[in-house]
C-alpha cells in the first residue's frame, strides 16, 4: 500500500516521542529494581525533566500541524490500517493532553512524587492525619484534571477515560451493580456453608531459588520469550515494556508463602505476553502497546487465574511442583487446588481471592466518585472506608494502614484507575470463553501443559491490534458481543460451587 508523505512525517515525529516515553519507563524500572535507595531525589528530577519535555513536544504546534496534515489524507486510507489507527489515536491523545496546561502537568508530577513518599512513611506509622494534606492535594489535582478535560455527566468520566478509553461511569455503575448483586450472596454461602479449606502448608518453608526456577519454567512454556524479556525483583510486582522486543517483569519472593511470587509471575507474564505480541510494525508509535489498563488486566488475570489456578493446569504441574518443594510431597492435588483457590473476606485487595476481589474495587470506585463530587470530605475517608468494608465483606480493618492507606494509587494521583482491575476480571472470562468456542479442547490442552492454542488465539484476536482500536471494539471483534459480566459470573458460580461443595445460585434477576 502507498503510504502518504503526511503519514510518514507524523510517524517520524511520534517515534521521537515514543523513544522518550520508553526512556522514562526504563528509568522507572531501574528505580524499582536496582537503583540504590538514595538515588530517589535525583531520579525524581530526571523523570520530571523527561515528563515535561515529552508533554511539551507532544502538545507542540509541530504535532498539531503534522496531525492536521495527516488527517487531510485520512480518506485515502483503509480505516482498519495501522496508519489510519495511528492518526485516530494521535488525535484522541492530542485532544486530551493539549487541554492540560504544562504547569499543571509538571506540578502534578512533582506533587505525586512527594505524596507517594509521604504515603509510604505515613502508612508505615499508621498515620492517616499525616497523609491527609498530601491526599487532599492529589484529590484536588484530580478534580482540576476533570475540569480541564471536560465531562458531560460525571467528573469521573474524564479521569476514567485516561485508563479505559471509551468507557463511562454509567457503564461501570451498571456492571458493578450486577456483580455486587450476585457475588455478595456467593461470599455469604461460601463462608457459612462451604467445606473448610486447609492451606497451612502454603506457609511452610519454600526455597526462593526453587520458587524462581519454577516461575521461570512456567513463564517460558506460557510463551514468554526471555530473549526479549527478563524477570527481576521489586517490592510490588509489575510488567513494563520499552519495545515489543524488551518487555520485563518483576516479582517478590516470600520464603514462607508459596503463592505470592508464583502467581505474581503468572500474572505479570500475562501482561508481558500481550506486549511481546504487539506487531513490530507498531513499535515506536502511540498504538504500539496494549489498548487499555482493563484489557491488559484481562490478559494477566487470564494467565494467573483461568490458567494458573485451574484444575487442569495443576493436574499437569502439581507433580512437578511437588518434586521442587518437600512441604508439598504429602499434600494431595485436590487439597492443593482448593488451597490456592481459597475464598476468604479479607482486608487487603492485592491478597484477595477471585470471588471477593471485585468488592474491594467497588468500594474504592464509590469513594472516588464521592470525593470528586465533593460528597465526601477527604478527612472522612477512613470512616467511610471502614463502613463499606463491613457492608461488603463483613470485616473491619484495625488500622488505616490495612484500610484506607493500603494502596499506592491515590497517593500517586491515579484516581479513576481501580475499575480497570474488575474490567480485567470480567473481560478475561469473556475472551477465554470465546477462545474455547473455537478451540473446544482448550482446557485439555492446558491439562497437557500446552498453551500455544490459547496464546495463538490471543495473538490473533487481541495482541495483534495493539492500541489500534478502543477496548470495546477489540472485545466485540474478538468475542462477537459487547462487554458482559455474565460469562464471568457463570465461571465463578461453577468453579467455586465445586471448590466449596456448595450450590451457588444467582438471586432471581430483577426485571427493570
User: Under the rule (CB under 5 A), what is the footprint of Zn ion?
Assistant: 300
Q: How far is Cα 169 from Cα 162, in angstroms, rounded to an integer?
A: 13
Return all residues near 65 (Cβ < 8 A) that are at least 6 apart.
none
CB 268 within 8 A of CB 237: yes
Count of CB atoms within 10 A of residue 113's CB?
19
**How far is residue 66's CA from residue 88's CA, in Å, rounded to a whole number?**
13
Q: Taking a C-beta distance cutoff of 8 angstroms, is the pair 403, 410 a contact? A: no
What the block records as the C-alpha cell of 69 is 496534515
Sequence-separated contacts (24+) of 23-31 with Cβ below 8 Å: 23/50, 24/50, 24/51, 24/54, 25/240, 25/241, 25/242, 26/242, 28/240, 29/240, 29/242, 29/248
Within 8 A by CB and 6+ apart from 501, the residues are: 194, 195
Yes or no: say if 472 and 484 are a contact pair by the CB < 8 Å rule.
no
**Closest-approach residue to Zn ion (CB):** 300
Q: Is 201 exposed, middle or buried (0-12, 13-18, 19+ CB in 10 A)?
A: middle
To Zn ion, the closest distance from the beta carbon of 422 in angstroms equals 12
> Shortest approach of Zn ion to residue 430 CB, angstroms?
17
Active site residue 83: no
How far apart are the C-alpha atoms of 349 and 360, rounded to whole Å? 6
Give the nearest distance from C-beta 296 to Zn ion in angstroms: 7
Q: Which one of the listed residues 137, 164, 268, 304 is annotated catalytic? A: 268
Cell of 146: 476533570
101: three-class secondary structure by DSSP: coil
Residue 259: CB minimum distance to Zn ion, A: 16
CA distances from 175 to 8, 168, 181, 488, 505 (A): 41, 11, 10, 11, 19
How many angstroms separate the first and last alpha carbons of the chain? 51
Grid cell for residue 306: 483461568
Segment (H or E) for 247: strand 246-251
Of 90 and 300, CB closest to Zn ion: 300
So which residues are the catalytic ones? 268
Amino acid at each position: 500500500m502507498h503510504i502518504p508523505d503526511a503519514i510518514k512525517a507524523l510517524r517520524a515525529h511520534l517515534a521521537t516521542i515514543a523513544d522518550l516515553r520508553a526512556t522514562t519507563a526504563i528509568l522507572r524500572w531501574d528505580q524499582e529494581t536496582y537503583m540504590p535507595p538514595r538515588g530517589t531525589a535525583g531520579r525524581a528530577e530526571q523523570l520530571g525533566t523527561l515528563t515535561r519535555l515529552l508533554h511539551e513536544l507532544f502538545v507542540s504546534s509541530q504535532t498539531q500541524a503534522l496531525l492536521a496534515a495527516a488527517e487531510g489524507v485520512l480518506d485515502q486510507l483503509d480505516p482498519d490500517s495501522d496508519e489510519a489507527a495511528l492518526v485516530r489515536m494521535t488525535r484522541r491523545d492530542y485532544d486530551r493532553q493539549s487541554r492540560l496546561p504544562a504547569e499543571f502537568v509538571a506540578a502534578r508530577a512533582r506533587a505525586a512524587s512527594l505524596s507517594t513518599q509521604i504515603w509510604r512513611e505515613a502508612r508505615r506509622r499508621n498515620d492517616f492525619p499525616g497523609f491527609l494534606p498530601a491526599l487532599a492535594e492529589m484529590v484536588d489535582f484530580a478534580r482540576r484534571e476533570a475540569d480541564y478535560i471536560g465531562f458531560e455527566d460525571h467528573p469521573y468520566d474524564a479521569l476514567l477515560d485516561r485508563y479505559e478509553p471509551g468507557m463511562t461511569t454509567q457503564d461501570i455503575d451498571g456492571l458493578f451493580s450486577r456483580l455486587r448483586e450476585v457475588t455478595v450472596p456467593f461470599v455469604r454461602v461460601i463462608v457459612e456453608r462451604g467445606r473448610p479449606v486447609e492451606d497451612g502448608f502454603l506457609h511452610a518453608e519454600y526455597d526462593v531459588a526453587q520458587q524462581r526456577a519454577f516461575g521461570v519454567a512456567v513463564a517460558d512454556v506460557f510463551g514468554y520469550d526471555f530473549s526479549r524479556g527478563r524477570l527481576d525483583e521489586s517490592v510490588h510486582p509489575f510488567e513494563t515494556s520499552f519495545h515489543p522486543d524488551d518487555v520485563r517483569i518483576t516479582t517478590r519472593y516470600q520464603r514462607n508463602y508459596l503463592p505470592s511470587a508464583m502467581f505474581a509471575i503468572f500474572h505479570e507474564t500475562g501482561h508481558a505476553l500481550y506486549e511481546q505480541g504487539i506487531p513490530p510494525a507498531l513499535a515506536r508509535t502511540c498504538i504500539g502497546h496494549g489498548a487499555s489498563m482493563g484489557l491488559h488486566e484481562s490478559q494477566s488475570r487470564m494467565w494467573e487465574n483461568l490458567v494458573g489456578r485451574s484444575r487442569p493446569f495443576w493436574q499437569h504441574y502439581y507433580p512437578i511442583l511437588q518434586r521442587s518443594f518437600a512441604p508439598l510431597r504429602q499434600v494431595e492435588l485436590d487439597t492443593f487446588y482448593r488451597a490456592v483457590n481459597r475464598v476468604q473476606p479479607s482486608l487487603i485487595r492485592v491478597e484477595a481471592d477471585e470471588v471477593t476481589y471485585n468488592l474491594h474495587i467497588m468500594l474504592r470506585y464509590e469513594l472516588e466518585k464521592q470525593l470528586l463530587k465533593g460528597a465526601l470530605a477527604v478527612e472522612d475517608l477512613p470512616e467511610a472506608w471502614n463502613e463499606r468494608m463491613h457492608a461488603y465483606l463483613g470485616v473491619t480493618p484495625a488500622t488505616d494502614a490495612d484500610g484506607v492507606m493500603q494502596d499506592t494509587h491515590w497517593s500517586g494521583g491515579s484516581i479513576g484507575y481501580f475499575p480497570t482491575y474488575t474490567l480485567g476480571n470480567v473481560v478475561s472470562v469473556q475472551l477465554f470463553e470465546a477462545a474455547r468456542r473455537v478451540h473446544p479442547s482448550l482446557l485439555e490442552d492446558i491439562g497437557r501443559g500446552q498453551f500455544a492454542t490459547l496464546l495463538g488465539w490471543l495473538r490473533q484476536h487481541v495482541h495483534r491490534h495493539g492500541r489500534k482500536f478502543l477496548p470495546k471494539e477489540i472485545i466485540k471483534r474478538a468475542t462477537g458481543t459487547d462487554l458482559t459480566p455474565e460469562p464471568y459470573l457463570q465461571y465463578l458460580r461453577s468453579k467455586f460451587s465445586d471448590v466449596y461443595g456448595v450450590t451457588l445460585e444467582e438471586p432471581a434477576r430483577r426485571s427493570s
